[in-house]
Amino acid sequence: MSELTLAQSLNGALATALESDERVVLLGEDIGRTGGVFRITDGLRDKYGENRVFDTPVAESGIVGAALGMAIAGMRPVAELQFLGFSYPAYDQIINHVARIRNRSNHRFTAPLVIRVPFGGGIGAAEHHSESTEAIYAHIPGLKVVVPSTPSDARGLLLAAIEDPDPVLFLEPIRLYRAVKEDVPELYYTTEIGPLRVEREGNDITLVSWGAMMKETRAAASRLEESGASVEVLDVRTLSPIDADGIVRSATKTGRVVVVHEAPRTGGMGAEVAAIVQERALYSLTAPVRRVTGWDTVFPLKRSEGHYLPNADRIVRVAQQTLET
Amino acid sequence: MLTLISPDGTVPDRLPFTLEEMRRLYAEMVEARTYDHKCMAMQRQGRLATYAPFEGQEAAQIGAAAALRSDDWVAATYRDAALMWRAGYPWSLLVAGRTGDERGGQAPEGVNVLPPSITVGGHMIHAVGLAWAEALNGTGRVALTSFGDGATSEGDFHEAMNFAAVYNTPTVFLCQNNGFAISYPRAEQTRSQSIAMKADAYGMPGLLVDGNDVAAVLDVVGSAVGRARNGEGPTLIEAVTYRLGPHTTADDPGRYRDEDEAVGWRERDPLERVRLLLERAGGWSPEWQAELETRASDTIEEAVAMAEALPPPTAEEMLVRMYEQPTTLIEAQLGEIGQ
């Protein structure tokens, strides 16, 4: 057990995977010599060699397409794309080939690969570096979409993603890479893809979130509890397949649900959560399901980030309206 | 451009294959053409979804696949049924795929042929990844990817060629330049004089071969496969050929090409030149031809019967095909379908 940041935990999980399964290879831009733009693969090429950790040309479609070929041939490639906003050149490979090869070949050929992508804002980066477009991937059948928000989940979910017989898009919240620390077991363990994590139990209201917004949601929950509310906090962790049963269970108990995500509101995963709740828990609700989200705009540059990103104040305000209903 | 057998069936230089090998290649091309004609007819009868015929390209496809080992990889296109079949994919599954049944995409165990990619050009990089994995694992397997001239305009062509060269993967790129990207002529698609010459810029050999000469294709692809297997890296081969039929059954080539051109290419028919060669060498007779055609027709009819005898797909199958184990969400939808 050692205290690790989310970034360190991911690095450790990749090392464990390279150590324990010789089919695992890593490929991506700048991941070898420099350890990647966020240093998540730091030291891995030195330790495991140039035939396990590959620097690639700047070609996202090529990276994902080549990883798919390797996966079909029986390897367990873990590809890194530098930012979610850089994943779109690979979108065709992801939705037309990675997510479909099992269906196209009626299970004969499969895509056990992981595509790791840092995502989300809050670091004042240039355009395309702060995207949170997880919904467009969660919409695609054949993929799994996973988002850890804690160091121990990061390890367990990444090892589970690498073991998974189907392709996993593994979204890493940039803002949390070094903002959270936790004791993480050093042994090999996996965290099941699918089930959400009840981070805090409560009876009056459910706050549902994932990724970097978990930090704001936690802060909001603490403030709401100080004012006397009993708050349940769910870390969804897996956006596809989303844990509908887990969300419904909590909604039925509290009768009030607020969804928090930093992606734009329209067509976001918050709409999916709201739909799940109204389909299966409508008669338990005492208030409408509300969404605290990014706005329907391009993710803004540094000086406007504060206008865009949901924060604890906004979450508390909307949660209080919901509690008063 | 390498030609070993002239359109009149003569061999100006030397043929590195035996009479028996040539008879076999000829028989395979006859079988492939029989399939192609059958599928065109079935589509007209409403028994197939859209069909993309390969008539005229039999030599490029049979010649290329004949150069492979039975465990090599093939990543090809919707027009490559002959190539896929020669690499081990059964006719019955090819027909099933064209009837609109995903079960047709399931190559038998041991046949390393991917189901065809329908989007243009996205599959070439898969052959790079497949070959890369085989090289890392030291299996000696190579991967051949087939695509048309149109696909070389896609950005994915560039990424696949570049990755293959950078990682020295045992990949053979076979471009069947059949003259058109649906309606857009090859000369307008690129200012490059040839597609083969593009290989130069990637640092791999690029070879031009007469795509209507099965012996030349087999010879050139054979040496590229050999190089790949020896760890000498990828090769781009441009097989110059011509699509005698339409792009698909939904296409009307009269709108974009001169029929005289097609007539000229019929005179360079890939089957006829081998027939002439065989006849001259005493390896062909009208009786043998009749026997080949009957046998091919029986084989294809049997394949069609197998494809059409597949029980109707169930609604559940389309959901169960998405993941190894149905997810909780798929389980819920299976429940809804079952109601």
| Domain map (residue ranges) of chain B | 19-308
Q: What is the pLDDT of residues B131-163, one digit of tens each?
A: 999 999 999 999 999 999 999 999 999 999 999
Domains of chain A: 2-184 (3.40.50.970), 197-324 (3.40.50.920)
pLDDT at A87: 97
- For the record, the structure tokens of A174 come out as 């940039």
Q: Which residues of B are less than 8 Å from A65 in CB distance?
A: 122, 125-126, 128-129, 156, 159-160
Please name the residue of chain B whose CA is at the shortest distance from the CA of residue A106.
Answer: B106
Asked if A68 reaches chain B (Cβ–Cβ under 8 Å), the answer is yes
Tell me whether residue B243 is one of the annotated catalytic residues: yes
Q: Which residues of B are less than 8 Å from A245 in CB distance?
A: 328
Query: What is d(CA A192, CA A188) in angstroms, rounded to the nearest whole number?
Result: 13
The distance of Cα A44 from the centroid of its chain, to the nearest Å, equals 23
- For the record, the structure tokens of B250 come out as 């939904």
Q: Assess whether pLDDT exceeds 90 at residue B263.
A: no
pLDDT-based confidence at residue B339 (cuts at 50, 70, 90): confident
pLDDT at A247: 98
Q: Omega before B246 cis (within 30°)?
A: no
- Are B166 and A110 a contacting pair at CB < 8 A? no
Average pLDDT, stretch A258-287? 98
Q: Which residues of B are less than 8 Å from A107 in CB distance?
A: 106, 321, 324
Query: What is d(CA B113, CA B126) in angstroms, rounded to the nearest whole number?
Result: 12
Query: What is d(CA A21, CA B34) in angstroms, rounded to the nearest whole number?
Result: 48
Average pLDDT, stretch A221-246? 98
- How many Cβ atoms sit within 10 Å of the Cβ of residue B25? 25
Query: What is d(CA B75, CA B173) in angstroms, rounded to the nearest whole number?
Result: 10
- Catalytic residue of the set B44, B256, B280, B323: B256
- How many Cβ atoms sit within 10 Å of the Cβ of residue B62? 26
What DSSP assignment string belongs to B74-103?
Answer: EE-BTT-HHHHHHTT--HHHHHHHHTT-GG
Chain A interface test: which of B144, B163, B169, B333 (most A C-beta within 10 Å): B163
Q: Which residues of A are less than 8 Å from B125 in CB distance?
A: 61-62, 65-66, 68-69, 93
Q: Which residues of B are less than 8 Å from A92 in CB distance?
A: 119, 122, 156
Contacts of B21 (CB under 8 A, 6+ apart): none
- How many Cβ atoms sit within 10 Å of the Cβ of residue A290? 19
Asked if A110 reaches chain B (Cβ–Cβ under 8 Å), the answer is yes
Identity of the amino acid at B199:
A
Cβ–Cβ < 8 Å for A143, A99? yes
pLDDT, mean over chain B: 96
Q: Which residues of A are less than 8 Å from B330 in CB distance?
A: 241
Asked if B123 reaches chain A (Cβ–Cβ under 8 Å), the answer is yes
Cβ–Cβ < 8 Å for A155, A195? no
Cβ under 8 Å to B: A residues 143-182: 144, 165-166
Beta strands B184-185 and B180-181: pairing type?
Answer: antiparallel
Q: What is the pLDDT of residues A80-132, one digit of tens each?
A: 999 999 999 999 999 999 999 999 999 999 999 999 999 999 999 999 999 99
Asked if A288 reaches chain B (Cβ–Cβ under 8 Å), the answer is no
- Are B133 and A74 a contacting pair at CB < 8 A? yes
- Catalytic residue of the set B227, B247, B268, B273: B247
- How many Cβ atoms sit within 10 Å of the Cβ of residue A127? 11
Give A24→chain B minimum CA distance, Å: 11
Q: Assess whether pLDDT exceeds 90 at residue B292.
A: yes
Query: What is d(CA B211, CA B59) in angstroms, rounded to the nearest whole number?
Result: 6
Tell me whether residue B126 is one of the annotated catalytic residues: no
pLDDT, mean over chain A: 97
Q: What is the pLDDT of residues B303-334, one digit of tens each?
A: 999 999 999 999 999 999 999 999 999 999 99
Sign of CA dihedral B52, B56, B57, B63: positive
Q: A–B: how many Cβ contacts below 8 A?
A: 138
Chain A interface test: which of B74, B103, B132, B157 (most A C-beta within 10 Å): B132
Q: Which residues of B are less than 8 Å from A51 in CB distance?
A: 136
Looking at residue B140, the DSSP 8-state letter turns out to be -
Closest partner residue to B329 among A106, A109, A244, by Cβ? A244
The distance of Cα B281 from the centroid of its chain, to the nearest Å, equals 29
- Are A62 and B105 a contacting pair at CB < 8 A? no
Q: Which residues of B are less than 8 Å from A241 in CB distance?
A: 327-330
- For the record, the structure tokens of B321 come out as 């095909």
- Are A103 and B322 a contacting pair at CB < 8 A? yes
Sign of CA dihedral B66, B67, B72, B76: negative
Q: Tokens 């936690």 correspond to what residue?
A: A218
Q: What is the pLDDT of residues A59-92, one digit of tens each?
A: 999 999 999 999 999 999 999 999 999 999 999 9
Worst-scoring range by mean pLDDT, B2-11, B53-62, B258-267? Answer: B258-267
Query: What is d(CA A245, CA A279) in angstroms, rounded to the nearest whole number?
Result: 12
Contacts of A246 (CB under 8 A, 6+ apart): A195, A196, A198, A234
Please name the residue of chain A whose CA is at the shortest distance from the CA of residue B119.
Answer: A96
pLDDT at A33: 96
Asked if B147 reaches chain A (Cβ–Cβ under 8 Å), the answer is no
What is the length of chain B?
Answer: 339
Q: What dihedral do alpha carbons A42, A47, A51, A52 form, nearest 10°?
A: -60
Query: What is d(CA A165, CA B200) in angstroms, rounded to the nearest whole number?
Result: 39
Asked if B128 reaches chain A (Cβ–Cβ under 8 Å), the answer is yes
Q: Assess whether pLDDT exceeds 90 at residue B226.
A: yes
**Residue B327: which of A252, A116, A140 has the closest Cα?**
A140
Tell me whether residue B229 is one of the annotated catalytic residues: no
Helix axes B286-308, B91-98, angle to 10 degrees: 50
**Architecture of the domain spanning B19-308:** 3-Layer(aba) Sandwich (3.40)
**Residue B195: which of B164, B225, B235, B142 has the closest Cα?**
B235
Cβ–Cβ < 8 Å for B132, A66? yes
C-alpha to C-alpha distances, B243 to A50, B153, B266, B296, B303, nearest whole angstrom? 44, 18, 10, 22, 24
Q: Assess whether pLDDT exceeds 90 at residue B260.
A: no
C-alpha to C-alpha distances, A142 to A97, A132, A241, B314, nearest whole angstrom? 10, 20, 10, 19
Q: What is the pLDDT of residues B83-113, one digit of tens each?
A: 999 999 999 999 999 999 999 999 999 999 9
Q: Assess whether pLDDT exceeds 90 at residue A228.
A: yes
Hey, which residues of A are catalytic here?
A: 129
Query: What is d(CA A79, CA A167) in angstroms, rounded to the nearest whole number?
Result: 11
Beta strands B180-181 and B235-240: pairing type?
Answer: unpaired
Closest partner residue to B106 among A70, A92, A105, by Cβ? A105
Closest partner residue to B162 among A54, A57, A74, by Cβ? A57
C-alpha to C-alpha distances, A59 to A30, B67, B122, B161, nearest whole angstrom? 12, 31, 13, 12
Please name the residue of chain A whose CA is at the shortest distance from the CA of residue B108.
Answer: A108
Query: What is d(CA B62, CA B54) in angstroms, rounded to the nearest whole number?
Result: 11
Contacts of B214 (CB under 8 A, 6+ apart): B5, B25, B26, B29, B58, B59, B62, B63, B66, B270, B274
- Are A106 and B321 a contacting pair at CB < 8 A? yes
Average pLDDT, stretch B224-235? 98
Cα B87–B239–B207 angle (5° rounding)?
Answer: 105
